[in-house]
Structure 1
């Protein structure tokens, strides 16, 4: 076994464009495997690509950064969400694995994405070779990166771009670093020992083994587990699940991503939902059922209500709650349509655009809810001479820290009003980014004058 690689300075963004040399490194490994004692290919590669200050004196055309590293002549390569600026990515660019991330996680990509928005320390446990899980680390860090317009929605003390560092592959030797790390991170490992140390991470993602994936049957999904002290002894049988709305969004995203070819022009047309309600419902339910292992079951309140309404209305599915659900689906389709619109669009750019729009939507709704709960310039009455003046002040200050999240807010953020995990996510978002407490009002239905939650 032989490995050849390059060292990248920590200040060179996520990868330092190391993927530019991937093909050369593969050819270099092939040369060395035949004769391990021949170091001439390594010396040649080093002379061509080494970074030294004296290179500036030898070749004045090269530019250097403040650390003396030679800047590559290759053009800057980034994932732009603007269709007109969509680049053709190099053959070994890790962003090419973005569509693979959608296939790997299925509907679970949405709760994983939300954990990244909360800047959870995420550890992905997988098998060697580590290339595909390192690509997953990079892809998730890109999908959860906040555009500048979203950063502007954050409070003043969080205006600068938050640091969420992809560490890629780590091992037991990195435990001291993880214990002292100040910034949030996402990393992968093949070492089971790290998974038994829950104090090091906030979420553990266990990828299916090659043995389990080789079995005939339903798709095996990764397991998402929040860190608890019990993880040091055993893993729970059931991990975090996606919501029903996550499953529908996943199906729509997957369908439209599959239509895109990374090197071809894309039509703006998105197939509309069929007018045959019964056929559409049957198709949707059977498709979601294929992912039931990764999706939360429907709420009993919703099942009971929709069954009753269907019976009372003689099969009119558009009554009451189902009409609201159809409006929610239309909102998700509109968001997806905006993300993939454009004359030139690749699968990778479409996915980045979609999740950036989704994150912007979440932050903008929460920002409005925070502003609504603490209106600017509100004058509060206080009787300074009264005995209860201090108590009144404390009560008003306490109310200012409460952010009221309505059922409409939850739907507007693309979340499920019936999902307890989605409600908990909102509470964590408000606490993490705004340092306030959120009161989340979930879904309710009213039948015969009686309200059910």
Structure 2
């Protein structure tokens, strides 16, 4: 057994069997003295619907431990109701990561479960396994195999003067894992990243943004739940903030850099999920956000528990002639009436579609760590434009007017397609690690793969979203810093004017003063995607007389972040992101169309 694949020590090992009279019962267990198993692991290890599947891997969290159970369901005699169902599981400390590297036990647990299914009365293999890996006798000092956990140690640290932080260096450090070939361990949840991307399509981006806002996110799907558990891990991984962003954020009262992953939850977790509600502990930002999955449909009927619900398509939908995508729905804050309690559909923006097509094209040339799925492709989806109203926001009327005007003004040479700047921006996110591509003087049009790319799709996806996160947060940091500098300059100018007396502006100055930019107005009948900011009041809604209290964000800033300035959902996202991470009110100024200096829209 190699050092990097050595399983972590375990705090508990248990065997659960389905009894026709008593239900799921623990028939064998060993644990450390402080670990509680009874009336806990039976429910967490065996979610609803497992009787319909032959095998499954279930991840869950219990207190300070991560749990993993291997379930088997095989034919039996009539005394077992023609089916023998059992699960073998472990608990490992969460101190080693989101799952404590529990996946390193997956292969052994599956083998134990199959063995015990033939004779679950023979518990000697369980005793031997406990003897081999129990804590504190067993020590595993192997390095972290999570790409996220290993990034900080891959590049030498350089001494940087306080305050001398540069966007280019941050972007480069955030992708340090690409300096060498990395392979993920078997059963690592990140191996499911390409499937995560394919399952969601362009919806991966609005879901990622919801996770950046540290929303309570619940995946709802049928058994088997292994894929759903992997999706929980993947979303938490992609929406984690690099530690290199710490200097760009306030020093205190921050949400968690890593979203809290609860993995499989069920009806038995209702009291716990209720206790994690934002209303019960508003000061504990890190505990109030979580990502979980469930096969208990009743949890989807309780919108007070979650902010975003992802209704995954059933497994048989893979055979459908047309690809079936998940449904992303926002939970209303206060469902007072049946009409008000209607869930709001979360959609991808037009910018998300273009970005996704570029991402998919770039990943298709890379291999997958998961060799079993390497040959699977989205053949039926290659020509898709994702133009369905259920998946993507329709074009807004202002954008239609703008693109029509540009097409007319350029005699048909320019339209609504992807601009060169946008293509270059998206291409940079997929490049292998290269400090020069983030240098301030990088020449446009020079984006190219310098050498053969040895990365896998999984590593490339992690890098892509870490760069995207860094891009968004560094642009916002520049905006916040810009406002602070302007306030300091205005304060200094005000103090000097107080000494000599304030000048009286002339009538001409008043006449030609620029009017403040207004938010972009969306047509009332347009079926635009509802913003993520449905449970907070945006800066635009709370705009008062003192506009200095708001951080202004321009359409250029939006474009630099890779967002859609024409999308109401993206504008609200940025406003809430500033509120969540910088505790400031922000206002995104809408787009304008001018002809010969005269505003026409």
TM-score normalised by L of structure 2: 0.62
- Provide the residue aligned with 2:95 in structure 1: 11
Is it true that 1:220 corresponds to 2:297 in the alignment?
Answer: no
2: CA distance, partners of 1:327 / 1:11? 43
Q: Give secondary structure in 2 for the equivalent of 1:294.
A: coil
1:171 and 1:19 map into 2 onto residues whose CA distance is: 21
Aligned to 2:232: 137
- C-alpha distance in 2 between matches for 1:134 and 1:307: 45
- 1:339 and 1:350 in contact (8 A); partners too: no
Contact 1:2/1:29, CA 8 A, preserved across alignment? yes
Q: Give the superposition deviation at 1:157.
A: 1.7
1:295 aligns with 2:399: no
Give the Å deviation of 1:87: 2.4
Partner of 1:203: 308
Asked if the contact 2:181–2:455 (Cα under 8 Å) also holds between the matched residues in 1, the reply is yes
Which residue in 2 is equivalent to 1:25?
109
Report the Cα distance in structure 1 between the residues aligned to 2:255 and 2:400, rounded to whole angstroms: 45
* Deviation for aligned residue 1:259: 1.1
Which residue of structure 2 lines up, in the alignment, with residue 272 of structure 1? none
Matches of 2:255 and 2:348, distance apart in 1: 31
For normalisation by structure 1, the TM-score amounts to: 0.81
Greater relative contact order structure (CA < 8 Å, 6+ sep): 1
1:111-260 aligned at under 5 Å gives the runs 111-158=206-253, 162-181=257-276, 182=284, 183=287, 184-210=289-315, 212-217=317-322, 219-228=323-332, 229-230=334-335, 236=342, 239-260=345-366
Q: Aligned to 2:599, what secondary structure does the other structure show? A: strand
Aligned with 1:92 (options 162, 165, 187): 187
Q: What is the match of residue 365 of structure 1? A: 475
How much does 1:306 deviate?
2.6
Q: Does 1:76 align with 2:144?
A: yes
- C-alpha distance in structure 2 between counterparts of 1:292 and 1:216, whole Å: 19
1:405 aligns with 2:553: yes
Mark the CA change 1:110 to 1:435 in structure 2 (over 3 Å): closer, same or farther. Answer: same
Where do 5+ consecutive residues of structure 2 fail to align?
1-84, 152-174, 277-283, 371-380, 435-448, 502-542
User: Could you tell me how far apart the structure 2 residues matched to 1:115 and 1:339 are?
Assistant: 27
Q: Using the alignment, how far apart are the partners of 1:223 and 1:263 within structure 2? A: 28
Which piece of structure 1 moves more, 123-132 or 330-339? 330-339
CA distance in 1, matches of 2:382, 2:400: 13
How many angstroms apart in 2 are the aligned matches of 1:21 and 1:307?
Answer: 58
- Residue-by-residue CA offset, 1:300-359 (whole Å, 9 max, x unaligned): 2222333344345442227xxx59844223322233335696753121111111101100
More strand by share: 2
1:333 aligns with 2:427: yes
* Structure 1: runs of 5 or more not aligned: 56-69, 265-283, 387-394
Distance 1:155 1:291 in 2: 41
In structure 2, distance between residues paired with 1:221 and 1:366: 32
C-alpha distance 243-103 of structure 1, shift in aligned 2 (>3 A): same
Aligned pairs for 1:430-441 (under 5 A) are: 430-441=578-589
The reply on whether 1:44 has 2:128 as its aligned counterpart is: yes
* Alpha-carbon distance between aligned partners in 1 of 2:426 and 2:240, rounded to the nearest angstrom: 21
**Distance in 1 separating the partners of 2:564 and 2:349:** 7
Deviation by residue 1:222-251 (Cα, 9 ceiling, x = unmatched): 111112144996985762111111111111
Contact 1:198 / 1:232 at 8 angstroms: preserved in 2?
Answer: no
Cα deviations across residues 357-382 of structure 1 (Å, max 9, x unaligned)? 10011111111111112216432526
Per-residue deviation, 1:77:
1.0
The aligned runs of 1:57-76 (5 Å cut-off) are 70-72=138-140, 74-76=142-144
